[in-house]
Amino acid sequence: MFKNIINNFKNGKTEQTIKDLDRALEIDPNDLTGLRNKGIVLVNLGKYEEAIKVIDRVLSLDPSDSEILLFKAIALESQGLAAEQFIQFYEKSMKINTNDLEMLCNIGFHITQMGGYENAIKHFDRVLSIEPNNPVAINGKDLAVSLQKLSSEEQAELVRKSSTEYHSSTCSCASCTQVEK
């Protein structure tokens, strides 16, 4: 059944994928793979409220699932919530998967947007200690360092423009379309 689900998803038949996952979950409502995949597909469909319910179910069964914590952060962020409401899930995911460079950069940008420049710089430095020429981390660190030097009004304007541009041009987390086999 999961092979058919994966093929439907890869072929863009996302609504059919959800129906197939629901049928599989009728047989075993605690099937972690089915729940995970449904949560991921729902995030990718932009059905964030429904995705969060499924993701919370996954986390009740496996609270250490770093990928699902990441998808919860993405779903909450995509609903337009303030960073303080979703960054904790990025951070929890990072504690489990400590060398995810993309996630470190994403957290750095979110912390930059919240005005925590020193903390953001530490995240970018961590990426650069692993991958010294990482252009995303270099740009993110440069942004955070520059913002530290500006007045509050100048910071707000630069954060609004630059951080969003950097993040949206580098973040592929929300477009992740991996479905587990």
Residue 142 has pLDDT above 90, yes or no: yes
Which of 38-52, 66-80, 154-168 bottoms out in mean pLDDT, i.e. has the lowest?
A: 154-168
111 or 101, higher pLDDT = 101
Rounded Cα–Cα distance for residues 121 and 127 (Å): 10
64 or 111, higher pLDDT = 64
- Give pLDDT, residue 93: 78
The domain limits of the chain are 1-82, 99-176
- Give pLDDT, residue 75: 87
178 or 53, higher pLDDT = 53
Residue 170 has pLDDT above 90, yes or no: no
Rounded Cα–Cα distance for residues 109 and 175 (Å): 17
Question: What does pLDDT average to over the chain?
Answer: 80
8 or 55, higher pLDDT = 55
- Which architecture does CATH list for 1-82? Alpha Horseshoe (1.25)
181 or 71, higher pLDDT = 71
Q: Six-digit token pair at 20?
A: 């197939």
- Give pLDDT, residue 11: 73
- Give pLDDT, residue 173: 43
- Give pLDDT, residue 160: 60
pLDDT category, 55, cuts 50, 70, 90? very high
pLDDT category, 175, cuts 50, 70, 90? very low
Contact 48/36 with Cβ under 8 angstroms?
A: no
Rounded Cα–Cα distance for residues 47 and 14 (Å): 12
- Give pLDDT, residue 38: 92
Give residue 100's identity as a one-letter amino acid code: D
